[in-house]
Amino acid sequence: MMRVLRWLVLLAVIGAGGVWVLSWPKPLSDADVAGLTGDATRGEAVFWAAGCASCHMAPEAKAEAQLVLVGGQRFPSDFGTFIAPNISQDPQAGIGGWSLLDLASALKRGVSPEGTHYYPALPYASYARMQMQDVADLHVFLQTLPADPTPSQPHEIGFPFSIRDSVGVWKLLFLSEDWDLPGNLTPTADRGRYIAEALAHCGECHTPRNMLGGMDTARWLGGAPNPSGEGRIPNITPGKLGWTDADIVQYLTTGFTPDFDSVGGHMAHVVENMARLPETDRQAVAEYLLAVPSVE
């Protein structure tokens, strides 16, 4: 009996060690970005679609101040409060010294230039689907924005969530480049899927999460509790939303619903971002949303 127990303990240790090795940070390689040249004009569209300023501008920033990506906004969650870091072009306080490879590894793998895990408050579970050319374009556009030396504030997270190495196990469970709405779509809906699932990361807010903080993709876009504790983030699947494609395009352009209500909260920033994109992109998002299975 003792011999069997020893073997079980040994196998458990080996298994735990294997999981730990598999959960090590996995940045991209030079080959992944080889030959890529970015374009700032295209990168600006990626910047707005991805909502970079919405999270990384200073709290309550307006107009051109939104382009100073000093960070400081607070995002509560069940695991603690995450505080958006400085991603301005300051080489010390921000990301001014980052290469394209550094940015790509952060967005698509959640790995810092120092080789540590980022918390998934950075929505790399969605950005993992970004096309590498879009990352290259974004990198060039970010270099045109102002620098600010304000230091980033530390996240307010208690034990055991403060152990960053545990994020690697989270990634094993939830980090994937697969689409949440799989299958072949029309070219327009396919573009909408890319914007909604990868760039605009709609599922990060509108999809409920399991006890480990992973998105419950079986209820994709089916609504979720507001992390702030105030109300719920709505179900935006077709059966619940009940909007036409024209209604969705109008909302993403003006912020007004078919009932003449107006957008509020963080969604106001999303609408501002979407309104900066070509109308064809908003139409693509609308066609995609109407193709998503309804969640009751």
Report the pLDDT value the prediction gives residue 183, as an integer from 0 to 100: 93
| Beta bridge pairs of residue 80 | 77
* Cis ω before 160 (30° cut-off from 0): yes
In single-letter form, the type of residue at position 137 comes to D
Which ranges constitute the DSSP H helices of the chain? 2-22, 30-33, 40-49, 52-56, 100-109, 124-127, 132-142, 167-174, 187-193, 203-206, 238-241, 245-254, 267-275, 279-291
Q: Give me 173's structure tokens.
A: 């469970």
In single-letter form, the type of residue at position 233 comes to I
In single-letter form, the type of residue at position 237 comes to T
| Beta bridge pairs of residue 111 | 117
Contact 110, 171 (CB under 8 A): yes
Helix (H, G, I), strand (E, B) or coil at 231: coil
In single-letter form, the type of residue at position 174 comes to F
- How do residues 281-294 score in pLDDT, each as one tens digit? 999 999 999 999 99
Q: Which residues of the chain have pLDDT under 70?
A: 1-22
Which ranges constitute the DSSP H helices of 86-218? 100-109, 124-127, 132-142, 167-174, 187-193, 203-206
Helix (H, G, I), strand (E, B) or coil at 224: strand
Q: CA–CA separation, 13 vs 102, rounded Å?
A: 34
Report the pLDDT value the prediction gives residue 8, as an integer from 0 to 100: 37
Q: How far is CA 1 from the centre of its chain?
A: 50
Strands 224-225 and 232-233: antiparallel
Report the pLDDT value the prediction gives residue 159, as an integer from 0 to 100: 86
- How do residues 24-40 score in pLDDT, each as one tens digit? 899 999 999 999 999 99
Q: How far is CA 9 from CA 5, 6, 12, 18, in A?
A: 6, 5, 5, 14
Q: Give me 49's structure tokens.
A: 């679609």
Q: CA–CA separation, 103 vs 95, rounded Å?
A: 9
Q: How far is CA 105 from CA 50, 72, 161, 219, in A?
A: 16, 23, 22, 28
Residues 192-209 as b or e (16 or more Cβ within 10 Å = b):
bbbbbbbbbbbbbbbbbb
